[in-house]
Structure 1
Amino acid sequence: MENKIVIYGAYGHTGKFLVAQLYQQGFKPVLSGRDADKLNALSKDYPDLITKVADINQPETLDKAFADAEIIVNCAGPFLDTAEPIIQSTLRLGKHYLDVSAEQKAVLDIFEQFSEQAKIANVIIIPAAAFYGGLADLLSTTLTKDWDQVDEISSYIGLDSWHPTKGTRLTGERNHYQRFMFENNSLQPVLEVKSKVWDFPEPIATQEVVTVPLSEIITISRHINVNTINTYLSQNSLTDIRNDKTPEPKAADEKNRSNQVFCMEVVATKGNKSRSITAQGIDIYAVTAPLIVEALKRILTGKIQKQGVTTLGEAFDATDFLNALDTDDIVISEIKETEIN
């Protein structure tokens, strides 16, 4: 497990969670990124790990940093800037790639630009393998695995608060592109923001939620035969992230997680049947680490259902994947099925 994985952007907020969890499980990832000073500072906590400076504007440095590994995990946003050069390097070298993007355009561009090249190179590329994009995709795949056609999938994301990282704020400034919804079995530009009230479990409770299409619109639509996909986010969290004075997340436990609570509920309908499943936990940034680590372990042990550009839900057995997650990281509910009157 030594040096098989490179974490690019290892010193970032999400990258640190990933490095810590990999290291705790016996992996020795290579720490990489653009900033030598930040890499050196991080390496003081992991003196036995290799560090490699690499710049997305210098392809030869990427190739050198990635040459001896099997999988590259990109944690360095904005992914509109970093994904393409890093994927180009992984394709040249025949390496696998995952990232943690929530950016619709970045994820869509990866599918459109690299699907054929990834198949030819026989590599796996999984964008948005994170809380946004990946988790809803896994939950949706589990809900609908025995349905050949689905009428609608809606993800309701409730946060008791959202203290954004510097990376989240930088991505927001960079990501000024048209957002898409999925309706009538195709991507459609978002023309209006819809709102409703949704009942989440405590402590989030009843919240106004609004349509905020994120990367799960892309991931789910790539492999599930569904007519409509919606993503709703609690309005209180949007208010937080749009406030320049909202502080960054602050470590509150032994895993350095903040005390922010999340709940994601996914509802799928087909005809008069409705199914729902929830995922609950602490810290939307920290929970990305166990999702990535589980994916990495499955790639390294050959538990893959599809090569090329794919998603967490399509690449792996989604139900088994969710069941394998530690309940201290995330709690997955049983599926509830009801009839619609």
Structure 2
Amino acid sequence: MRIAVFGAGGYTGKLVLAELNRRDIDTVLVGRDAGRLAEAASRAGLGTVPSAAIRQAAAEDHTVLAQAFRDCSAVINCAGPFVLSGEAVVRAALAAGCHYVDISGEQHHLDRTFAEFAGPAEQAGLTVVPGTNDDGLPSDLLAHVVAERVAPVRELVIGLDVVSGGAMPSRGTLRSGLENIDSFTTGGLGYEEGRWHADVAVRCTGLTFPGGAGSTPVAKFPLPAIVTVPRHVKARRVEGVANAQLVVSLAGLTPAVLDAVPEGPPADSRRNARWIIVVEATGEDGRHARGVIHGTDMQGTTALIAVESARRLVADGAPAGVLAPSQAYSPADFLRFLGEHGAQWSIDGPGATVRG
């Protein structure tokens, strides 16, 4: 198994390299700057890597990029903003015969990936799974198993909260946020009666998050799971929300804020940060189910998820095409994997309570 990391020189790219190294998976580093890639390999604990494992290529040079991926089984794309270059990397991965995952949380990128590459990926016999990060994948998996408790589903609410613990998002994450600032100011896409559109007004105004004191005010938020969940959960309505304070802070993102932050938080700050996802489903018959998953170290969790997602595509296989996480992997099994690596989750509702 050989996995290529595009954008390996970035903050999260280095964490992905370290996770691949921890698992002893053969790795190829791809990016614009060969010197930066070599430095990233050293900082990620790979030591001195063979020159053949460092390949210089830019997203806009399709031929060179496809050649850089040529002998790899899968590509992990860590280079945002994905609305600018994500399609080019997917196209090069398919041309090289590679499965593809990325760490994007950008709704527009996910939506375009499904629209543009479903046919080409299926024809190539390859699998594309965008949005394999600390938010997108856990919320997609959790929504699937929660919805099963009350199917058919009338309404599904997916909520996010982040307790920073002093840790700031990486500069790359903020750069992607700034490029997608319209989504943060409008709340992004919602899903209702069989279609996605931006003018779905959320009905949920408060959610109870673990560790919180009662109901927390929430507001519409462009969660990646809104793009993926309706592809495998039959629901009339799916809406995404987040802690209202988080929504306000991200909607106020400016170039000056981006310039003021470091490349990414140090490891000790990351360990103090918590991500929390709540899913609440209401069935057509009025039954309710609720799921919660939470953990620490958002960037480290993203690296863990991206590597495991790519590894499973290569080792276990999945249907060809562009897939949501719950279509590519067993939701229950991947949730158990996350539980074994520090996340805590539970599902309550009709049937037995399940915890992991």
Task: Output the TM-score relative to the length of structure 1.
Answer: 0.89
Give CA-to-partner distance per residue, 1:284-313, whole Å, 9 cap, x none: 222112222222232222242x22110111
2:287 pairs with one of 253, 258, 273: 273
- Secondary structure class of the residue paired with 1:44: helix
Change in 2 beyond 3 A, CA 1:22/1:204: farther
Structure 2 alignment gaps of length 5 or more: 352-356
1:244-289 deviations in whole A, cap 9, x for unaligned?
5584552243xx8342112111111212211111111113222112
- Whichever structure has more helix as a proportion of its residues is 2
Deviation for aligned residue 1:139: 0.7
Q: Find the aligned partners of 2:247 and 2:114 in 1 and give their Cα distance.
A: 28
Root-mean-square deviation (Å): 2.4
Evaluate the alpha carbon distance shift between residue 293 and residue 40 of structure 1 in structure 2; reply closer, same or farther with a 3 A threshold.
closer
Task: Please report the TM-score for the alignment, with normalisation by the length of structure 2.
Answer: 0.86
Counterpart residue number, 1:170: 175
1:337 aligns with 349
CA-to-aligned-CA distance 1:134-171 (integer Å, 9 cap, x gap): 22111111223466532111111111237222112221
**Structure 2 residue matching 1:325: 3-state secondary structure:** helix
Q: Quote the Cα distance in structure 2 between the aligned partners of 1:52 and 1:321.
A: 32
Moved more, 284-293 or 220-229: 284-293
Write the distance in 2 (CA, Å) between the matches of 1:199 and 1:238: 16
Q: For the residues of structure 2 that align with 1:204 and 1:308, how far apart are their CA atoms?
A: 43
Shift of 1:10: 1.2
Paired residue type of 1:337: G
Specify the alignment match of 1:189 in structure 2: 198
Amino acid at match of 1:141: H
Corresponding residue for residue 29 of structure 2: 31
Aligned position for 2:328: 315
- 2:62 corresponds to 1:59: yes
What count of residue pairs does the alignment treat as equivalent? 333
Q: Secondary structure at the match of 2:205?
A: strand
Q: Which residue of 1 aligns with 2:316?
A: 302
Instruction: Identify if the C-alpha distance between structure 1 residues 164 and 39 changes in structure 2 by more than 3 Å, giving closer, same or farther.
Output: same
Identity %: 26
1:234 maps to 2:233: no
**Contact map agreement 1:212 1:231 (CA 8 A) in 2:** yes
**1:97-146 Cα deviation digits (max 9, x unpaired):** 11111111111111111111111110001111112322211111122346
Letter in 2 for 1:278: V
Q: Could you say which residue in structure 2 is the equivalent of 1:101?
A: 104
Q: Shift of residue 177 of structure 1?
A: 5.4
Question: C-alpha displacement at 1:14, in angstroms?
Answer: 1.8
